[in-house]
Copies of this chain bind each other. A is one copy, B any other.
Amino acid sequence: MRYFEDMKVGQHRDLGSFTFTAELIKAFASQFDPQPFHLDEEEGRKSLFGGLAASGWHVGSVWMKLMVADGQREAADAAARGEKLAMWGPSPGFRDLRWLKPVLAGDTVSYASDVYSLRLSRSRPEWGVMQVRNTGTNQRGELVFSFLASVFVPRRDPQD
């Protein structure tokens, strides 16, 4: 499971959802993004966002949280079957991150991950390079967050 050879373009994975409460929005913002519209309901209402809005970095960090939890669930399932999960390599970065709509207090964002492209690594024959489009969609079905990540994925048999 999760070797390069197991992945297919278009594969979809739901990562779960997260409700951005006012309390969590303010806790993140007071540490990392203390702008008025992230800290105070009234300032949020007066802003372009129209309400207390989560920091974009909060929306991204929650994606990471759900991605890790999903990987840990997958690893536990594999262990229960007596299998070992292939460990993906680090991400060298990502492209075209968009915050498409504000995430306001009370919004629930569902995150998902879709395989966008697959290729062999030129420099490291034991790895493939996968691009994954990650998205967040709110409870009204509106896309609020999107980016394209690159990940190194091990090949099952690099000699093939």
Complex Cα distance, B60 from A97, in Å, reads: 13
Residues of A at the B interface (CB closer than 8 Å) are 31-35, 48-49, 55-57, 60-62, 64-65, 68, 89-99
Q: Are A61 and B89 in contact (CB under 8 A)?
A: no
Is A93 within 8 A of B97, CB to CB? Answer: yes
Within the complex, the shortest CB–CB distance from A29 to chain B, in Å, comes to 9
Copies of this protein in the complex? 2
Residue of B nearest to A94 (CB): B97
Assuming the A-B contacts A56-B91, A57-B60, are A33 and B98 also in contact, with contact meaning beta carbons closer than 8 angstroms in the complex?
no
Q: Which of chain B's residues have a CB closer than 8 A to the CB of A61?
A: 31-33, 55, 57, 61
Closest partner residue, chain B, to A98 (CB atom) = B93
Chain B residues in 8 Å Cβ range of A33: 61, 64-65, 68
Q: How far is the CA of A57 from the CA of B134 in the complex (A)?
A: 15
Are B68 and A64 touching (Cβ within 8 A)?
A: no
**Contact between A34 and B68, CB atoms less than 8 A apart:** yes
Asked if B91 and A99 sit within 8 Å, CB to CB, the answer is: yes
25 contacts between A and B (CB under 8 A): A32-B61, A32-B62, A32-B64, A33-B64, A33-B68, A34-B65, A35-B68, A48-B90, A55-B64, A56-B64, A56-B91, A57-B57, A57-B60, A57-B64, A60-B60, A90-B99, A91-B99, A92-B98, A92-B99, A93-B98, A93-B99, A95-B95, A95-B96, A95-B97, A97-B97
